[in-house]
Structure 1
Amino acid sequence: MSAPFRFPRFFVTSPSPCPYLPGRHERKVFTELRGPHAGDLNDALGRIGFRRSQSVAYRPSCAGCSACVSVRVIASDFVPNATQRKQIRRNADLDVAVCRPWATEEQFDLLRRYLGARHPGGGMAEMDEQDYADMVEHSPVNSFVIEYREPAVNGAPGKLIGACLTDQQADGLSMIYSFFDADADARPGFGSMIIMDHILRARTAGLAYVYLGYWVKGSARMAYKTRYRPIEALGPKGWALLVDEDATFHPPAQHYTMLADEIA
């Protein structure tokens, strides 16, 4: 029986300054997602720690550093703590809609405010409306945008206060990029609410996991990802429960052998 798609060609980027750990450099290995089996390839790559950006799947491949660790929440076993339960109750009045992956001016305006408040000077700070449209609309896999709005007023849609570009994979939801109203006077902890909504949404759909991308050991910006338990981290022997947030995982050399097995 032949493989459903050809083994992909991988490329490696040149080193560039790490956006998470000062004084370090990052490098990525990547491949293109295209053709009728792009979704199958994306699923296989996702299971071994790759992330999607438009029509590219990538993962860190940094010399001498293994700080970036792929993490995923086990949706069926997730139990919110007291703070998380309070956030769910506080936001129970929201209007939430799953939308086709089509960029809107309202979403882009919210993204610009979010980046200005949370990530000024970051890699996405210079993103224009066309860049945003490319990020949302150029997806070769099953993607959608989840919008979070204040309650409707007199039949008119409420204010957009959050959104997330999400992929549906065979075994879970992959949160590609989320953004929200970062005003301190708005709903506090809303980024956490978006994650929990994805966990509950995956559970309802019978999907096992919510992929949160990379937890970066030593980066305060990424510490929030380990607050959703139980959570698994991808280590040398595959996915395992992360019970010690200081655990060190080394990049497994067998990842590409695992990939060959996945797509054979």
Structure 2
Amino acid sequence: MRHTLPLTPQFYVTAPQPCPYLEGRMERKLFTSLSGDGATALNDSLSKQGFRRSQNVLYRPSCADCAACLSARIDVAAFAPSKSQRRTLNRNRALQRQATSPWATEEQYDLFRDYLDERHADGGMADMDVFEFAAMIEETPIRSRVIEYVHPERGLTAVALTDVLDDGLSMVYSFYDPDRAHDSLGTYMILDHIEIAREAGLPYVYLGYWVPGSPKMGYKANFKGVELYVGGTWAPMRDPSEYDSERHPLKTDPIAEQVANISLPDLRTTRR
């Protein structure tokens, strides 16, 4: 007898844990499994509704009294580089882009460890070993790419794990040589992804979450054409100072209402 997964995705909520972005707060995530024949359609649909992928899971912040985390994407057609961003492109003009299938390498892991040890030594990934790193890169049920940036003399300099959606590119995770922080490699990878999306005719580059009040996420507000997912719709970012990160017991809807308001694709058309 053949057993299949239910056509309707099942949603769950994580236990509260310390927020990595705003000190003194607790985060909670709404999540569902990403697997089966309908994985691509589900990822495309939920990415447009503020969800992010981590291996075989799609998640979205669902904190009890805080709604500061806002999904961000860049409208490629509305983007134009600033003077500072043009300088970043010029500083990194020697880098060579190499797109590969999602396979992890020792060279990538060594760069990843240098990046974490220098910039995120107390973060949630600080203890990630080579096998967990390989799982992060390789366990993807959808169309993903590893985009490496190689310097002709210094070798591997930066890496981005990127999903290809039906309407854009989603930058799942990126890291770079911490000794070259002055070259703004994080910004450079976003700028290059905008160019990749433009070349492919894709309208958006998804950046993950922007969090007002969090210095870690401030750089995402520096790109012209940024849109935020607020109240169930995408809208151009206003002045960053206008967004509220204060707590309130009525900040978020009950979990049942959140799930009821999620639009799902017709997964029957992607199953046999």
- Give the distance between the partners of 2:253 and 2:144, measured in 1 at CA: 29
- Give the distance between the partners of 2:111 and 2:233, measured in 1 at CA: 37
1:262/1:235 Cα in 2 relative to 1: closer, same or farther (>3 Å)? farther
> Kindly, what percent of the aligned residue pairs are identical?
48
- Aligned partner of 1:59 in structure 2 is 60
- Give the distance between the partners of 2:20 and 2:129, measured in 1 at CA: 20
| Contact 1:48–1:258 (CA under 8 A) maintained in structure 2 | no
- Aligned partner of 1:145 in structure 2 is 146
Q: Secondary structure at the match of 2:41?
A: helix
Q: TM-score, normalising length from structure 1?
A: 0.91
- Aligned partner of 2:262 in structure 1 is 259
1:217 Cα deviation from its structure 2 partner: 1.4
1:247 Cα deviation from its structure 2 partner: 3.2
Which moved further from structure 2: 63-72 or 250-259?
Answer: 250-259
1:187 Cα deviation from its structure 2 partner: 5.5
Structure 1 segments of 4 or more deviating over 2 A? Answer: 246-264
- Give the distance between the partners of 2:63 and 2:200, measured in 1 at CA: 36
- Give the distance between the partners of 1:74 and 1:252, measured in 2 at CA: 28
| Contact 1:145–1:166 (CA under 8 A) maintained in structure 2 | yes
Q: TM-score, normalising length from structure 2?
A: 0.88
CA-atom RMSD in angstroms: 1.8
- Give the distance between the partners of 1:255 and 1:29, measured in 2 at CA: 9
Alignment of 1:212-251 (within 5 A): 212-248=207-243
Matched, 1:103 2:104: yes
Quick one: which amino acid aligns to residue 220 of structure 1?
P
| Contact 1:101–1:144 (CA under 8 A) maintained in structure 2 | yes
Matched, 1:128 2:126: no
Where do 5+ consecutive residues of structure 2 fail to align? 1-5, 245-250, 268-272
- Aligned partner of 1:44 in structure 2 is 45
Number of residue pairs aligned between Structure 1 and Structure 2:
254
Which moved further from structure 2: 55-64 or 230-239?
Answer: 230-239
- Give the distance between the partners of 2:9 and 2:232, measured in 1 at CA: 23
- Give the distance between the partners of 2:43 and 2:189, measured in 1 at CA: 23
1:259 Cα deviation from its structure 2 partner: 2.9
1:92 Cα deviation from its structure 2 partner: 1.7
Quick one: which amino acid aligns to residue 262 of structure 2?
L
- Give the distance between the partners of 1:204 and 1:239, measured in 2 at CA: 23
Where do 5+ consecutive residues of structure 1 fail to align? none
| Contact 1:147–1:163 (CA under 8 A) maintained in structure 2 | yes
Quick one: which amino acid aligns to residue 177 of structure 1?
Y
1:209/1:251 Cα in 2 relative to 1: closer, same or farther (>3 Å)? farther
- Give the distance between the partners of 1:21 and 1:229, measured in 2 at CA: 25
